[in-house]
Amino acid sequence: MRTGEELAGRYRLDVPLGQGGVGEVWRAHDTELGRAVAVKVLLEFDADEELLGRFRREAEIGARLQHPGITVVHDTGRHGKRLFIVMELLEGQDLAQRLAARPGRGLPLPEVLDLGLQAAEALGAAHAQKVVHRDLKPANLFLLTDGRLKICDFGIARTADATATLTATGRVFGTPAYMAPEQWRGEQADPACDMYALGGVLHALLTGAPPFPVTETPWVLMRRHLDESPPAPDTVRADVPGPLSALVADLLAKEPQARPDATAAAARLRALLDPDAPVAPPRIPPQPRPARPAAPGPARRTVLLGGLAAAAGVAGGTYAVLRTYGGSGGPSAGRPGTVITHHTDAVGSVAFSPDGRLLASGSSDRTARLWDLAAGSGSSPSPARAATVTCVAFSPDGKVLASAGLDRSIALTDVERRSDRAGLKASAGVLSAAFSPDGTLLADAEDRTVRLWDLASGTVAATLDAHGGTVRSVAFSPDGRTLASGGEDGTVRLWDVAGRTAAATLTGHGGHVASVAFSPDGRTLASGGADATIRLWDPAAAAATATLDGSNSTVRSVAFSPDGRMLAAGGGRTVRLWDVAARSAAARLNGHTGAVASVAFSPDGVHLASGSDDSTVRVWRIP
- Per cent of the chain over pLDDT 90 is 49
What's the pLDDT tens digit per position in 596-613?
999 999 999 999 999 998
75 shares its domain with 114:
no
**Tally of domains within the chain:** 3
Q: Tell me which residues are annotated as active site.
A: 135
pLDDT for position 561:
97
Greater confidence (462 vs 46) lies with 462
pLDDT band at 247 (very low <50, low <70, confident <90, very high): very high
pLDDT for position 377:
66
pLDDT at 161 over 70: no
Among 213, 247, 278, which residue terminates a domain?
A: 278
For residue 42, give the CATH number of its domain. Answer: 3.30.200.20
| Domain that residue 568 falls in | 317-621
CB 148 within 8 A of CB 289: no
Greater confidence (345 vs 384) lies with 345
pLDDT at 174 over 90: no
What's the pLDDT tens digit per position in 2-12?
888 898 889 99
What's the pLDDT tens digit per position in 249-302?
999 999 999 999 999 999 999 999 865 544 443 333 333 333 333 333 333 322
pLDDT for position 337:
62
Mean pLDDT of 459-472: 91
Mean pLDDT of 168-186: 71
pLDDT for position 105:
87
* Residue 32 CA, distance from chain mean position: 33
pLDDT for position 297:
35
For residue 321, give the CATH number of its domain. Answer: 2.130.10.10
Among 57, 88, 119, which residue terminates a domain?
A: 88
123 shares its domain with 188:
yes
98 shares its domain with 84:
no
Indicate the pairing of strand 358-363 with strand 322-324: unpaired
Mean pLDDT of 542-554: 86
- Estimate the crossing angle of helix 191-207 against helix 262-273, to 10 degrees: 30
Q: Where are the alpha helices (DSSP H) in 87-231?
A: 95-100, 109-128, 181-184, 191-207, 218-227
484 shares its domain with 575:
yes
Mean pLDDT of 41-60: 61
pLDDT for position 404:
93
Q: Is residue 290 part of a domain?
A: no
For residue 104, give the CATH number of its domain. Answer: 1.10.510.10
What is d(CA 183, CA 191) in angstroms, rounded to the nearest whole number? 12
**pTM confidence score:** 0.52
What is d(CA 186, CA 311) in angstroms, rounded to the nearest whole number? 10
Q: Is residue 286 part of a domain?
A: no
17 shares its domain with 149:
no
pLDDT at 145 over 70: yes
pLDDT for position 450:
96
72 shares its domain with 149:
no
At residue 583, what is the residue type?
A: R
> Quick count: other Cβ atoms within 10 Å of Cβ 285?
13
What is d(CA 349, CA 601) in angstroms, rounded to the nearest whole number? 13
pLDDT for position 55:
64
How is the beta sheet containing 501-506 ordered, strand by strand?
471-476, 482-487, 492-496, 501-506
Q: Is residue 457 part of a domain?
A: yes
Q: Where are the alpha helices (DSSP H) in 399-494?
A: none
pLDDT for position 400:
95
Among 67, 88, 109, which residue terminates a domain?
A: 88
pLDDT at 439 over 70: yes
pLDDT at 123 over 70: yes
pLDDT for position 346:
87
Q: Is residue 291 part of a domain?
A: no
Indicate the pairing of strand 336-340 with strand 617-621: antiparallel
pLDDT for position 96:
93
Q: Is residue 311 part of a domain?
A: no
Can you give the length of the chain in residues? 623
